[in-house]
Structure 1
Amino acid sequence: MKNKLLYRSIPAIIMLGMLSTGVPANAADATGSIPVGQSATQVLSTLTVGVKSDVSSDRKSHQWNKVDGKTGNYTTRDLVLERDMSNVTYNSRGNVNTGILLEPYTGKTIHFQRGQSNKTEGGSASNRDGGIQIDHVVAYAEAYRSGLDKLDFQQRDTYYNDPDVLLVSQAEANNVKKDGTIAEWKPSNQAFQCDYASLQIGIKAKYGLMVDQKEHDKLAQVLASCPTETIISTSQVKQRLTSGTSEGNNTGTANNNTTGGNSQNSQYNGSTNSKNNSHTTNKHHTTTTKKNWVKNLFNGLLKRFF
């Protein structure tokens, strides 16, 4: 009899626990998606303008996750390298070994080879990074100060490994960028500056992150030169760079030598594979988050009430 009462009480206890701890039932669904194709200026107007925190991030607590369905040691890093480069080869462990990158921040071409420093094309002096790094377009530490710290660890890990947030970039440029906002750093490649602003706005919209006033004003200033700019995702960058598609102004005239806009109809070559890989990765993170949240909640309630 006592056991029957216990089992009947568990659902009520769980609901009481949610109410007492203030945890929403959909805690794992705190993010949306990149609003691709929407006006960048309009999406910017929906972002919260506020004062960011000055807390230190937990960036060192995260690492590249292995990707479901891939063999060997293939991680999120390899997924993004494969997506953004051409002529990609792999080593015996399944990692991307070589490739050619048309680099968005500088406009230069980088010949990547895993484990080599490649200083002549912008590699780090102290790292064997092949001339490239995987950049969080909205830097993790900056995102953390902009509201990412309000999400739980698994959601922050999803951000860290989200292909929508990541872009292959020149190591030297990324090291100069650090965790700066667009008010503190922007690409030297003039033709990519509008797309860069678009990427940042889209990522902040997806994760509900704020902008400070200087950042907001700089984004608005960049978009003033390309008022027809629409939100793009990182999976579209390679195609845009290789095709040279650019609106550049409100007449829609292509201009690759000035600050570039984008074409709403442009699509990333091989986008089907990229989107499927991204979807698989994010689905895995979401499932893991839900399982961990339910497990931790249930264990906590058992300890609390019994």
Structure 2
Amino acid sequence: MKYLRSTLLSLSVLPILVFGTGCVPQESGAAAGAPPVVQVQSGTALEQLEGITIKGRAPKTGYDRTEFGPAWADVDHNGCDTRNDILARDLVDLAFRDGTKNCVVTSGTFLDPYTGTTISFVRGNTTSTAVQIDHVVALSDAWQKGAQQLTAEKRRELANDPLNLLASDGPANGAKSDSDAATWLPSNKGFRCEYVARQTAVKAEYGLWMTQAEHDAIATVLAGCPDEPVPVRDGTITRFAAGSAGEAVDGGASDGAGDGTAGEGPTPVKAAGAAPIRPGDPGWDPKFDGDGDGVGCTS
């Protein structure tokens, strides 16, 4: 019996042959898809990645968009909401709505980094969704990887941080949803290095963690561009054609891409300080949302 036991133990450490196929189990490590080993250079996204904590994903329990503050708040106090700030930063050949002191973008040309395609943006009920504003680190993903522990003000900052925001092709943004790098990367391979470097920078900035799969996916991308630098935050542009800096402007704030063109100037509700108003708020009525963005009295 002793002999039989020792024989079985010795056989257990040999490669397992699958008879009839000649196959052996896959090797672990690089052959199984682990990120290749590269020399880490100072000041690069790869170096920053090394400092990110690796943990499992926390439950999504308690997540709601409102945990990150009102959509597209004017956090830099330049008089323009964040969505319009990012459109103005990322689009060219811009036109603005009259009377908004160059805040509300009505049209422009957009070279989408996610797909590599060029989009002619026109603001409207049925056209605004062509260009959306993506949270590079999705807010739901952030919530499950440390943002639950942040203060409400810090989460608001994260949701409006130019480092974490990019204008993007609407369908591509929808396909990404709240995915991390382990399950979604831009189809434009030429942009992947910058994309994952931004994700890494955002998570480092706000003390968020990554799952092992996410970390490995980012490391694999950056192995192909080991000198990719840590991104610098793109400051939003203060745009005032007239009036004093900090003067409030009707920026047409919106959640997501729906930011149509119903109305010019602030509504009486907004002027009275009772807006924006959202579904579920006291006195809500769908007629308040003439631009179809889910937020009433914003245009």
Q: Do they superpose with TM above 0.5?
A: yes
Q: Deviations over 1:135-181 (max 9, x none)?
A: 00000110111111101212111111111111000010000000000
1:54 equivalent in structure 2: 59
Q: Deviations over 1:243-271 (max 9, x none)?
A: xxxxxxxxxxxxxxxxxxxxxxxxxxxxx
Q: Distance in 1 between matches of 2:66 and 2:131?
A: 20
What's the CA shift for 1:67? Answer: 5.5
Q: Which runs of 4+ in 1 moved over 6 A?
A: none
Please, what TM-score do these two structures have when normalized by structure 2?
0.60
1:216 equivalent in structure 2: 215
Asked which structure has the greater RCO (Cα within 8 Å, sep 6+), the reply is 2
Q: What letter corresponds to residue 65 of structure 1 in structure 2?
A: A
Give unmatched runs, 5+ long, in structure 1: 1-36, 119-127, 236-272, 282-306
Q: Distance in 2 between matches of 1:196 and 1:68?
A: 24
Cα separation, partners in 2 of 1:234 and 1:189, compared to 1, 3 Å: farther
**Structure with larger Rg:** 2
3-state SS of the aligned residue for 2:163? Answer: coil
What's the CA shift for 1:219? Answer: 0.6
2:72 equivalent in structure 1: 64
Q: Is the 8 A contact 2:75 2:157 kept in 1?
A: no
Q: Is the 8 A contact 1:199 1:232 kept in 2?
A: yes
Q: What letter corresponds to residue 174 of structure 2 in structure 1?
A: N
1:204 equivalent in structure 2: 203
Q: What letter corresponds to residue 208 of structure 1 in structure 2?
A: G
Which deviates more, 145-154 or 87-96?
A: 87-96
Q: Is the 8 A contact 1:166 1:234 kept in 2?
A: no
Correspondence list, 1:30-179, <5 A: 38-56=43-61, 57-61=63-67, 62-66=70-74, 70-71=78-79, 74-92=80-98, 93=100, 94-115=103-124, 117-118=126-127, 128-129=128-129, 131-179=130-178
Q: Deviations over 1:82-133 (max 9, x none)?
A: 1111111111333111111111000111111111534xxxxxxxxx42x111
Please, what TM-score do these two structures have when normalized by structure 1?
0.59
Q: Distance in 2 between matches of 1:227 and 1:81?
A: 30
Q: Distance in 1 between matches of 2:77 and 2:204?
A: 29
Cα separation, partners in 2 of 1:176 and 1:116, compared to 1, 3 Å: same
1:122 equivalent in structure 2: none
Pairwise CA RMSD? 2.3
Q: Distance in 1 between matches of 2:214 and 2:145?
A: 11
Q: Distance in 2 between matches of 1:216 and 1:70?
A: 36
Cα separation, partners in 2 of 1:107 and 1:234, compared to 1, 3 Å: farther
3-state SS of the aligned residue for 2:148? Answer: helix
Cα separation, partners in 2 of 1:148 and 1:213, compared to 1, 3 Å: same
Q: Distance in 2 between matches of 1:49 and 1:220?
A: 13
What's the CA shift for 1:274? Answer: 3.6
3-state SS of the aligned residue for 2:108? Answer: strand
Q: What letter corresponds to residue 76 of structure 1 in structure 2?
A: T
Q: Distance in 2 between matches of 1:95 and 1:192?
A: 28
What's the CA shift for 1:232? Answer: 1.6
3-state SS of the aligned residue for 1:164? Answer: helix
Q: Distance in 2 between matches of 1:55 and 1:42?
A: 29
Give unmatched runs, 5+ long, in structure 2: 1-41, 240-244, 247-299
Q: What letter corresponds to residue 117 of structure 1 in structure 2?
A: T
